[in-house]
Amino acid sequence: MRVYINHFNLDALPNVLTMLDDKLVKTETYIQIYSIDGIYQIDMSAVKKQTSVDSDIEILNDYHENFTLIVDKSYFVEEDAAGFDPDHISTRMKRCIFEISKGSPIKLIIEGETVEEKSLFFKNKTSPNLVPNNIYFEMANNLNVRDALVKRELIGFLSLLN
């Protein structure tokens, strides 16, 4: 499941990346393809067609201080694809995955488009060629965001973002 921070100022993401430098556990790069016949993701090993399985969202007002969270249990089912429509839009993407504690089931994800360094307006140590445009928490659907241990970890991240 993904948990979004409602009304988070995306302009703050470059600074957030710098602040979270020591919490970075992994980065993933891929190409996101949007075409008339679907959404595809290309990574180092495969082309996958992504099909959305939608679910209702839950809004948790004032979850912590002034943070309202949006819980979305929707997900994508991936299947191998031989190719995609030649008329498409593609974007080079990077996912930065952060953990508050090693091996945690709760990850903070910051995603964005990768660009050539010479065209950047800012630079950060964590991912110098990333223009971030999305932030969310990722965890298994069976975790309860109201559980004390889960909440403590989410609040740990939220306090870093405040």
For residues 50 and 41, the answer to whether their CB atoms sit within 8 Å is yes
What pLDDT is stored for residue 115 in this prediction?
Answer: 81
Residue 137, Cα to own-chain centre: how many angstroms?
A: 7
Domain that holds residue 114: 2-161
CATH number at residue 43: 2.40.320
Q: Please state the rounded mean pLDDT for residues 28-45.
A: 92
Describe the chain by its helix, strand, coil percentages, rounded to 5: 20, 45, 35
* 62-120 residue pLDDT tens: 898 889 999 999 999 999 998 888 899 999 999 999 999 888 999 999 999 988 765 44
> In total, how many domains does the chain have?
1
